[in-house]
Amino acid sequence: MMSSAEDQLCLNICNTLSSSSSSASSRWKRQTTQQKWVKKKQTAEKRRFSSSEEDRRHVFKQRRLQHHDVAKEEEVQGQTAAPPPAVVNPQAPPADETNGKPEKKKKEKDGVKETGRSSIKTSSLFKHNPDIPDIHRPLVSQVKEKIFTSDSFSDLHLHPHLVATLNKVLNVSTLTSVQKLTIPALLSGRDAVVRSQTGSGKTLSYAVPLVQSLQSVQPKVSRSDGPLAVVIVPTRELALQTFQTFQKLLKPFTWIVPGVLMGGEKRKSEKARLRKGINILISTPGRLVDHIKHTLSIAFSAVRWLVLDEADRTLDLGFEKDLTIILNSLNSTGPGRQNVLLSATLTHGVTRLADVCLKEPVSIRVSDPPTTTPAVTCEPGSVSQSQSFAVPEALKQFVVVVPSKIRLVCLAAFILDKCQFSQNNKLIVFVSSCEAVEFLHSLFTSVLSANHKPPLEFLRLHGNMKQEERSEVFQQFSSSRSGVLLCTDVAARGLDLPQVTWIVQYTPPSAAAEYVHRVGRTARIGGTGSSLLFLTPAETAFISELANHNISLSEMKLLDILSSLMIDDTYKGRGKYHSKSSSKALEQEIRERSTVLQTEFENVVHLDAQSVQNAKKALQSFLRAYTAYPTQLKHIFHIRSLHLGHTAKSFGLRDAPQGLSTAIGAHNKNRSRIRSPVKEQKKKLTSKTAGGKSFGPGQREVRLFCSEFSSGLEGAGAKKKKKKTLSGREEEMQQLD
């Protein structure tokens, strides 16, 4: 029979299914939940039993050990008047009152209660959460793009060695839709603005005609000619990837030399390479500007191609200044050149840029618009203003609505489900700041990796890492078959990482376009993939915002995700649950296990002063990034709607930290909400280009503050000064290049 304390405990856990959970549970299809996790468990078991003999022995050994430990623990508990179970009723009399141990009394005073697991502190995870609203899913007609055509590269009258290289080295023979439209247009000498969905082969659509054109130049191109083509891309990793593509394409044309310039590399060695001669110059904007200013040997007199890949990003976040310098420099010396702008998200910014630097461009758009217009358009003249975005057809898009407090556990449960209990999943998790990436990386490595066999592999990528490490991680994740990459938006654009199965947006993107690029890291070139967007109950209007851009999401239920904690007993609750219990009991056990996991996170975070400090830093950077959402999304993502205490929990902090208010904004003590951080910046940016035309008013206040692609070579003083005014997201953006 249950003791009265246990009865109380049970009651309390049911009570903790308060507001949010109760409304969720009323919608919760009980049978389905139970069936779902039983099925999950069976699949996981099956997988385990079908694995190698060694693995099997290992699993059994683990289980034996666990049973042994549990038995031992029970034995000890039996001897020491049984401490309370894993989750404790906060209203129940403190443990020390029953056994009178002074040590426990002290911890109670600190607002921390002990559980059955040695020194596990409880966390009221399911209490006082906001209701999870019913999701309104507007009707959306998704924009579709056909990826492949029936034509092949050999139909394009390219140099036979180029076709052979495409077939044998790059393993491609059939043209994609965007390649079929773009390659002939560029071969005919036209400027072009190209929009097609992520992973549809845009790189080859400009790289093939560029190489075809340069290999035919007579007399033959030589290094001393300097740059004949300049390709601008927004991030270092993308620069590296693009450079590697050119290296492959140029195998038969050894006299044409590609080269890459990017922040983080040694400027001196780049200067030396420029002196020797680079014919196809791939660069991030900030570093190119740096060389324009400081490297005498850089000369653009022979440039006949300018490619701006991810052109809308190139214009985002106040980077127009760099682009103006580059265009000025090219215009002042070069002959007539061909210009190409590409992106999966053609926005008004790109249209303005097209007006400025393109001559009668062909507008190439591969899409089946939501209206009845033709499936594929290729028209000269004006560039499309459309704001509807295409996402890969085989991409399954999900959203989960999670109260702030439960976010961390929900992410962990999702990762465990995909990486521990299923096979061959490769996940990218997007987070809004470098510090938050660091925090999650170290927390998950110490809790999730340590608790599971084989250990889960977590990698991280963000702008505050040394370039060497960034490249290493990029290559490592590229070649791995499974694992989790925690990253900032530094990995959102253009990266072609093979076999990524899930994209998780743990913090929502700053715009629908960014959403498209993030999810575009999976389901590439006709492949399958899935994505999951985390939103808090206050942020669900973002679903309608995405619907405005023809993006439709299906809902994944929070409890479904958390139920993966039932698959094995690593985070077991009180241990009374079995598969034949009621579904109410199942929900209760899921919540208990979630609480056990959250408690483990909190224990690790509170292990020492340094790790508490790291969690606070991560929280602070998250809050700062939150203030950087653009004005038009502030009604969805406003710092005021965040609950500091709840948000702190998602960083493993037991309480809302003091002293954040000066950096983030005053902390409203009554409501525990965060006040608006800074007065919204009203000034608009209008920068002039070489042609004297304006790119138009900047849409984001952050444009005023930063040059996203700064090379990091400015004086330390200048850097320091800038930092004072930047938000977390902006700081991260500064590190992109």
Ligand X SMILES: Nc1ncnc2c1ncn2[C@@H]1O[C@H](COP(=O)(O)OP(=O)(O)OP(=O)(O)O)[C@@H](O)[C@H]1O
Binding-site ranges for ligand X (CB under 6 A): 170, 172, 174-176, 179, 198-204, 344, 494, 496, 520, 524-525
Say whether 507 sits in a helix, a strand or coil: coil
**Shortest distance (Å) from residue 84 CB to ligand X:** 52
Q: Is residue 602 within 8 Å of residue 123, measured between CB atoms?
A: yes
State the DSSP string of 392-431: -TTEEEEEEE--GGGHHHHHHHHHIIIIISSSS-EEEEE-
Three-class DSSP category at 121: strand
From CA 209, how far away is CA 680, in angstroms rounded? 46
Q: How deeply is 80 buried, as exposed, middle or buried, from its count of CB atoms within 10 A (0-12, 13-18, 19+)?
A: exposed
Min separation Cβ 531 and ligand X, Å: 14
Shortest distance in whole angstroms from residue 152 CB to ligand X: 9
- For ligand X, the closer of residues 367 and 603 by Cβ is 367
Q: For residues 390 and 144, give the distance between their C-alpha atoms in angstroms, rounded to a whole number.
A: 6
What minimum distance in Å lies between the beta carbon of 202 and ligand X? Answer: 3
The smaller minimum CB distance to ligand X, of residues 400 and 495, is found at 495
Q: 173 or 297: whose CB is closer to ligand X?
A: 173
Residue 512: phi and psi, rounded to 5, are -60, -35
CB of 513 to ligand X, least distance (A): 11
Q: Which is nearer to ligand X, 37 or 515 (CB)?
A: 515
Sheet holding 229-232, edge to edge: 258-261, 280-283, 229-232, 305-309, 338-343, 192-195, 362-366, 376-380
Provide the minimum distance between the beta carbon of 342 and ligand X in the complex, in angstroms, as a whole number: 7
Contact 561, 417 (CB under 8 A): yes
Encode burial over 135-171: b for 16+ CB neighbours within 10 A, e otherwise. eeeeebebbbbebebeeebeebebeeebbebbeeebe
Task: Find tokens 């999950």 and name the residue.
Answer: 40
Q: Which residue's CB is nearer to ligand X, number 531 or number 594?
A: 531
Query: CA 711, CA 714: separation in Å to the nearest integer?
Result: 8
Distance in Å, CB of 136 to ligand X, minimum: 30
Torsion angle defined by CA atoms of residues 627, 630, 632 and 636, in that order, rounded to the nearest 10 degrees = -40
The CB-of-529 to ligand X minimum distance in angstroms stands at 12
Q: What is the amino acid identity at position 469? A: E
> From the CB of 144, what's the least distance to ligand X, in Å?
16
CB of residue 186 to ligand X, shortest distance in Å:
15
Measured from the CB atom, the residue of 514 and 560 that comes closer to ligand X is 514
Closest CA to 390 of 555, 512, 556, 238: 512
Residue with tokens 């929502």: 508
User: Is 347 within 8 Å of 512 (Cβ atoms)?
Assistant: no
Q: Which is nearer to ligand X, 380 or 498 (CB)?
A: 498
| C-beta of 203 vs 388, nearer to ligand X | 203
- Residues 459, 415: contact at Cβ < 8 Å? no
Q: Which CB atom, from 202 or from 470, has the smaller least distance to ligand X?
A: 202
Q: Which is nearer to ligand X, 176 or 510 (CB)?
A: 176
Contact 279, 225 (CB under 8 A): yes
CA angle 644, 650, 654 (to 5 degrees): 70
CA 500 to CA 482: how far, in whole Å? 8
Nearer to ligand X, 125 or 181 (CB): 181
For the bound state, the minimum distance from the C-beta of residue 339 to ligand X, rounded and expressed in Å, comes to 18
Could you tell me the end-to-end alpha-carbon distance of the chain, in angstroms, rounded to an integer? 64
CB of 611 to ligand X, least distance (A): 36
- At its nearest, how many Å lie between ligand X and the CB of residue 179? 6
**Of 192 and 298, which has the nearer Cβ to ligand X?**
192
Closest separation between CB of residue 314 and ligand X, Å?
Answer: 13
CB of 409 to ligand X, least distance (A): 31
Comparing CB distances to ligand X, the nearer of 200 and 367 is 200
3-state secondary structure at position 531: strand
502 vs 571 by CB, closer to ligand X = 502
Nearest distance, CB of residue 230 and ligand X, angstroms: 18
Contact at 8 Å (CB) between 727 and 627?
yes
Of 200 and 283, which has the nearer Cβ to ligand X? 200
For 330-373, the DSSP string reads HHHH--S-EEEEEESS--HHHHHHHHHH-SS-EEEEE-B-SSSS
Residue 200 or residue 621: which is nearer to ligand X going by CB?
Answer: 200
What element of type H or E holds 241? Answer: helix 236-249
Sequence-distant (6+) residues with CB within 8 A of 542 are: 508, 533, 535, 633, 636, 637
CA torsion, ordered 475, 481, 484, 489, to nearest 10 deg: 50
CA distance 384 to 377: 10
